[in-house]
Amino acid sequence: MKKIIRFLRSMQFGMILLVLVIACSVAGSLIVQQREPMEYVNRYGEGAARVILALQLNDVFSSVYFLVLMAALCLNLTLCSIVRLPRTVKATAQLLSRAESAPVEHELAPQQVEKVSTYLKQNHYRLREKDGRKIYVKNLIGFYGSFFTHLSFLLILVVGALAVVTATVTDQTVMPGETLTLDDDTTITVESFQIEDDTGLLDYASKIVMRSADGMKEAAREIRVNEPMSFEGYKVYQQTYGTAGSVEIHNLVNGASEVMHLTESCFLTLDGVDGLFFQALYPGYVKAEDGTVTLITSTSGAYSDPVYDVLSVAEGSMSPVLAFPGETLTIGDVSFTFLEPTSYPGLRIKHVSTAVLGALYAVFALMVAGLYLCFFMVPTAVAVTENGYTIVSPKPSTGLIIGLNACLEEEET
Amino acid sequence: MEILFFASIVGYFAATVLQAAGVTLRKDALCRVARIIFALSFVLHTGFTIWRGVAAGRIPLANQFEFASGFAWSAAIMGLVLYARLKQEWVLMASMPVAFLVLSYAAFQPMEIKELMPALRSTWFALHIGSATFSYAAFAISGGLGVHYLLQLKKGHAEKESRMVQTDYMIYRLICLGFLLLTVVILSGAIWAEQAWSRWWSWDPKETWALITWILYAIFLHQRIRMKWQGKRMAWFAIIAVICVLFTFAGVNKLLPGLHSYAV
Ligand code: HEM
């Protein structure tokens, strides 16, 4: 049992797990993921497709073995960190006691010893005197570097999984002027939406107002890509956009009128027989010299010359019509006035615990700090006596030796 | 202004050749000329980068050309700073060819200045891509030093010689720096992705390969402690791992398109 635990917490096991993560990642990046089974047959042939599906290589990162791998890595890191923590705490005292008793490694003349002391002071080493021995120390906090690094890696896996599992995400399109009510009665009103800024630069942005269910809290913000709005545990993203046809329908009999936004093909009719069949809205067109019109089918910007592609259905016959904003088409007792199209945002609404989010940011910072301590704050003690000096450090002190040698050579020359 | 760009490529090339000749023939004067040409080319390259940033009205790191140019610039400044501190010719032996080769690669990428996609207008993106140029440069120079180390071994220098120990140590330090910066790349990329698309991580091929590179270097750092991988092994690793870095940098965009394919 002891042997098994020793293996489970060993660096060797950790490295095996990391190699396996690499293997899964390579497979997951080379084989297209999360496609229909037929696509694998078409791409890789039937035999290979069967192997891919059997080994879940079509969805490596959600496969059982990948999750087991991650769990094993967490276990390994936890055990390894627990075992190493007491050693880390004791490391400073051990370093100092080694420095106190270490024999002189680099013998020097007295004036050179003085030079070494000056160099160390200049390089921010702190002096501790013990039994007549001068011990210069630096970066003792560095002992905690690898502990923080491993802890942060473990926490990134745990808190990251928590952030993904506890988040709920919904996508909604909302017309400008409309209000969306969420499950807990929080509301989101889209006041306006733009595709381009004043200079014509692409800039998808929605002005939104959010109100809490009890109406006590309200906040407004312009959201755009990279600038979501956070409100009471919600994060609202400017995710996509669309452009809807807008038609004012006027009932010539009773005088009633209504504006409708059209996002997909539909039949607008009062009696179920005559009416307007909306097929599509095009962003622009090119008119040739002979008068023929070619429609532009897609754009990433605003619709510059919108064209409505509709069918007029009257008395049992259909006739295609290309209509432009401002035009009116009368069919029976109804007139249809084509308006400038309406651009609208697609919002992504994510509900996520603020505490989890904050924890994830903190853990990211801990990892960077941990690595900095590991690599750039190497704990070092230099014992200086009247005969010379000795360096004690858990890592090679090549940098310090180069510096000290340069400083001593300078003196000689 | 493109003339500055092409002049820096020629300058980096000339510096590389002169430095190699100077070191091989043990002619200090040649090395001195190489250093001056390298520093001047770096100034021209900096001028070009500033001009490009001003002309585009943004940080010039938004497509593969600009990223490659930034990578070469980072390699050049790292080489110059390390040389200024250590006064060792081998530092330049490694960084000069990296700057030249990466900038030559940039020359084959589409150069026109394009409007920045809305998704790329982010401080996190700037940190993400800025740290990537320095991280890749540190790894590439460590690979260059790996080649230099192996060549020195072949020439009969012993692993214990102080110059060899210093080179070995420098490879390790550069890998540490590259690893720290690659961590910043991955974490700032995750934060940016969450701000832009609501997802921290989407196993996009570029993300996946950055993670593979990161784990590869993590394994190496542990093997160095566990199995005392130093000297020749370290040099070989530094060279082989650079292939993974270069695949993440350029290969993924061409071969495994995904969310990051804007960088093509
Ligand atoms: C990908 C995840 C990991 C990362 C990023 C990581 C990072 C590091 C770093 C940066 C160091 C210091 C290396 C140096 O200073 O040269 C280190 C040391 C170490 N790591 Fe990891 N590590 C990871 C996983 C693991 C695992 C799974 C184990 C398993 C037990 C482990 C055990 C150790 C040990 C024992 C040391 C030596 C620490 C010391 O001497 O102070 N690491 N790790």
Q: What is the average pLDDT across A197-210?
A: 87
Q: Is B159 among the domain residues?
A: yes
Nearest chain B residue to A370 by CA distance is B180
**Alpha carbons B150 and A35: distance in angstroms, whole number:** 46
pLDDT of residue B188: 96
Give the bridge partners for A210, in sequence order.
A188, A219
B240 and B180 inside one domain: yes
Say whether B29 sits in a helix, a strand or coil: helix
The alpha carbon of residue B136 is apart from the nearest alpha carbon of chain A, in Å, by 17
Q: What is the average pLDDT across A43-60?
A: 93
Q: Over 50: is that where the pLDDT of A396 sits?
A: yes
Q: Is B79 among the domain residues?
A: no
The answer to whether the Cβ–Cβ distance between A160 and B195 falls below 8 Å is no
pLDDT of residue A111: 85
Q: Over 50: is that where the pLDDT of B129 sits?
A: yes
Q: Is B70 among the domain residues?
A: no
Contact B95, B144 (CB under 8 A): yes
Q: Is B38 among the domain residues?
A: yes
Q: What's the token pair of residue B38?
A: 């390298």
Tens of pLDDT, residue by residue over B151-168, are: 999 999 998 888 898 899
What residue owns the CA closest to ligand 1's atom 23? A150
**Lowest mean pLDDT across A116-130, B65-79, B93-107, B246-260:** B246-260
Q: Is the CB–ligand 1 distance for residue A76 below 6 Å? A: yes
Q: Over 50: is that where the pLDDT of A27 sits?
A: yes
Q: Over 60: is that where the pLDDT of B19 sits?
A: yes
The answer to whether the Cβ–Cβ distance between A226 and B121 falls below 8 Å is yes
Which pLDDT band holds residue A300 (cuts at 50, 70, 90)?
Answer: confident
Which pLDDT band holds residue B262 (cuts at 50, 70, 90)?
Answer: very low
Q: What is the average pLDDT across A353-375?
A: 95
Which pLDDT band holds residue B257 (cuts at 50, 70, 90)?
Answer: low
B106 and B132 inside one domain: no
Q: Is the CB–ligand 1 distance for residue B222 below 6 Å? A: yes
Domain residues for the domain of B107 are 1-63+85-114
Share of chain B above pLDDT 90, in %: 70
Q: Work out the mean pLDDT of chain A and round it to a whole number.
A: 91
Residue that the structure tokens 């360096």 belong to: A391
Assigned CATH for A85-139+378-412:
3.30.310
**Top mutation candidate among B219, B221, B222, B227 for ligand 1, by most atoms within 8 Å of CB:** B222
Say whether A176 sits in a helix, a strand or coil: coil
Q: Over 80: is that where the pLDDT of A239 sits?
A: yes
pLDDT of residue A336: 95
What residue owns the CA closest to ligand 1's atom 26? A14
10 Å CB burial of residue B236 (0-12, 13-18, 19+) is middle
B34 and B91 inside one domain: yes
**Top mutation candidate among A25, A87, A89, A150 for ligand 1, by most atoms within 8 Å of CB:** A150
B130 and B17 inside one domain: no
Q: Is B72 among the domain residues?
A: no
Q: Work out the mean pLDDT of chain B and round it to a whole number.
A: 91
Count of domains observed in chain B: 2
Q: Which residues of B touch A (CB under 8 A)?
A: 86, 115, 117-119, 121-122, 124-125, 165-166, 169, 173, 176-177, 179-180, 183-184, 187, 190-192, 195-198, 200-201, 203, 205, 208-209, 211-212, 215-216, 218-219, 222-223, 225-226, 252, 256
Q: What is the average pLDDT across A310-338?
A: 91
**Alpha carbons B122 and B195: distance in angstroms, whole number:** 9
Say whether B140 sits in a helix, a strand or coil: helix
pLDDT of residue A411: 53
Q: What's the token pair of residue B17?
A: 């050749």
Which pLDDT band holds residue B122 (cuts at 50, 70, 90)?
Answer: confident
Domain limits, chain A = 2-73, 85-139+378-412, 243-339
Cβ partners under 8 Å of residue A129, min gap 6: A135
Q: What is the average pLDDT across B240-255?
A: 90
B contact test, residue of A19, A35, A371, A401 with most B CBs within 10 A? A371
B91 and B209 inside one domain: no
pLDDT of residue A412: 55
**Alpha carbons B47 and A102: distance in angstroms, whole number:** 53
Q: Is the CB–ligand 1 distance for residue A373 below 6 Å? A: no
pLDDT of residue B258: 54
Q: Is the CB–ligand 1 distance for residue A18 below 6 Å? A: yes
Q: Is B263 among the domain residues?
A: yes
**Alpha carbons A26 and B200: distance in angstroms, whole number:** 20
B19 and B104 inside one domain: yes
Using CB atoms, pick whichever of A19, A348, A367 lies closest to residue B219: A19
Tally the residues of chain B. Answer: 264
Q: Over 60: is that where the pLDDT of B263 sits?
A: no
B92 and B133 inside one domain: no
Q: Number of A to B CB contacts under 8 A, please give it.
A: 102
**Lowest mean pLDDT across A42-51, A129-138, A365-374:** A129-138
Tens of pLDDT, residue by residue over B22-45, are: 998 989 999 999 999 999 999 999
Give the bridge partners for B208, in sequence order.
none
Q: What is the average pLDDT across B169-180?
A: 95
B35 and B163 inside one domain: no
Q: Over 60: is that where the pLDDT of B259 sits?
A: no
Q: Is the CB–ligand 1 distance for residue A81 below 6 Å? A: no
Q: What is the average pLDDT across A274-281?
A: 92
Helix (H) / strand (E) element for A266: namely strand A266-269
Q: Which of A291, A327, A288, A330 is nearest to A306 (CA)?
A: A327
The answer to whether the Cβ–Cβ distance between A204 and B209 falls below 8 Å is no
Q: Over 50: is that where the pLDDT of B264 sits?
A: no
Give the bridge partners for A113, in sequence order.
none
The alpha carbon of residue A19 is apart from the nearest alpha carbon of chain B, in Å, by 8
**Top mutation candidate among A95, A146, A373, A397 for ligand 1, by most atoms within 8 Å of CB:** A146
Share of chain B above pLDDT 70, in %: 97
The answer to whether the Cβ–Cβ distance between A375 and B177 falls below 8 Å is yes
B20 and B137 inside one domain: no
The alpha carbon of residue B261 is apart from the nearest alpha carbon of chain A, in Å, by 14
Tens of pLDDT, residue by residue over A170-182, are: 999 999 999 999 9
**Lowest mean pLDDT across A294-303, A338-347, B104-113:** A294-303
Tally the residues of chain A. Answer: 413
B133 and B204 inside one domain: yes
